[in-house]
Chain A
Amino acid sequence: QVQLQQWGAGLLKPSETLSLTCGVSNESFIGYYYSWVRQSPGKGLEWIGEINHSGNTNHNPSLKSRVSLSVDRSKNQVSLRLRFVTAADTAVYYCARGRIFISYFYMDVWGKGTTVTVS
């Protein structure tokens, strides 16, 4: 059963760069897009962007200028970097596997989430 394990720094100062990594285990890395989704305290879900094994990316326009997504195929890992963080970037960050059935997209496997605080 595929698992997504996340790690990265949990406490940042304003203007620093958030850096998180998501490792995919127990199943093929190829053929899926991996998304990053965040949830600010007490708020809803916000999609940040997605990347596939070839490095093709799609972004939320509202964050695109500060976001970098990357992939390490040799390690089955995807990474998120978010530059110039502020308190508004304080959130739980999730990685999730996206899949498409016919033309319907959904995220079927999620990491446990990483809490990032900017203070």
Chain B
Amino acid sequence: EIVMTQSPATLSVSPGERATLSCRASQNIDNNLAWYQQKPGQAPRVLIYGTSTRATGIPARFSGSGSGTEFTLTISSLQSEDLAVYYCQYYNNWPPRVTFGPGTKVDIK
């Protein structure tokens, strides 16, 4: 069973600064990784899939990178509306199973 971990648990960033969030898989997952943003009281929203492809309507300040077991979500210039918890997600093709990381909470400093 593949385990996803995320670091840090909480990240405090000033508006306009860069935020770098990490996600690690316990085994090689190729590029089958997605990132979600969940704002308080809302459902999650997909930001990135396939490690680096932005979903429809997602601002360019969000970018994803990585491969194998190490992945990164970067917010190039943090905006106040980016206050949220960010989850990475892996999909195992067989047997089909979805696994989420524990999340990184981004606070506005």
Interface residues of A (CB under 8 A from B): 35, 37, 44-47, 50, 58, 60-61, 94, 96, 98, 101-108, 110-113
User: Which residues 43-72 of B have a CB within 8 angstroms of A?
Assistant: 43-46, 49-51, 53, 55-56
**Complex: A58 Cα to B49 Cα, angstroms:** 21
Is B32 touching A104 in the complex (CB atoms < 8 A)? yes
Is B43 touching A94 in the complex (CB atoms < 8 A)? yes
Indicate if B79 sits at the interface (CB-CB under 8 A). Answer: no
Is B44 touching A106 in the complex (CB atoms < 8 A)? no
Most buried by B among A44, A58, A105: A105
Most buried by A among B32, B44, B98: B98
Is A47 touching B98 in the complex (CB atoms < 8 A)? yes
| Cβ-closest chain B residue relative to A95 | B43
Interface residues of B (CB under 8 A from A): 31-32, 34, 36, 38, 43-46, 49-51, 53, 55-56, 87, 89, 91, 93, 95-103
Is B43 touching A113 in the complex (CB atoms < 8 A)? yes
A sample of 7 inter-chain contacts (CB < 8 A) reads A44-B87, A45-B38, A105-B91, A105-B98, A106-B89, A107-B36, A108-B46
Task: Select one of B49, B93, B96, B101 contacting A101, CB under 8 A.
Answer: B49
**Complex: A52 Cα to B100 Cα, angstroms:** 21
Identify the 7 closest CB pairs spanning chains A and B, nearest first: A105-B91, A104-B50, A106-B49, A47-B98, A110-B43, A58-B96, A106-B34
**Complex: A105 Cα to B89 Cα, angstroms:** 9
| Cβ-closest chain B residue relative to A109 | B46
Smallest distance from the beta carbon of A59 to chain B beta carbons, Å? 8
| Cβ-closest chain A residue relative to B45 | A110
Most buried by A among B38, B56, B91, B103: B91
Apart from A104-B32, A104-B50, A110-B43, what 11 extra A-B contacts exist at CB < 8 Å? A44-B101, A44-B102, A45-B89, A47-B99, A50-B98, A58-B97, A96-B44, A102-B50, A106-B55, A107-B46, A110-B44
Q: Which residues of B contact A110 (CB under 8 A)?
A: 43-45
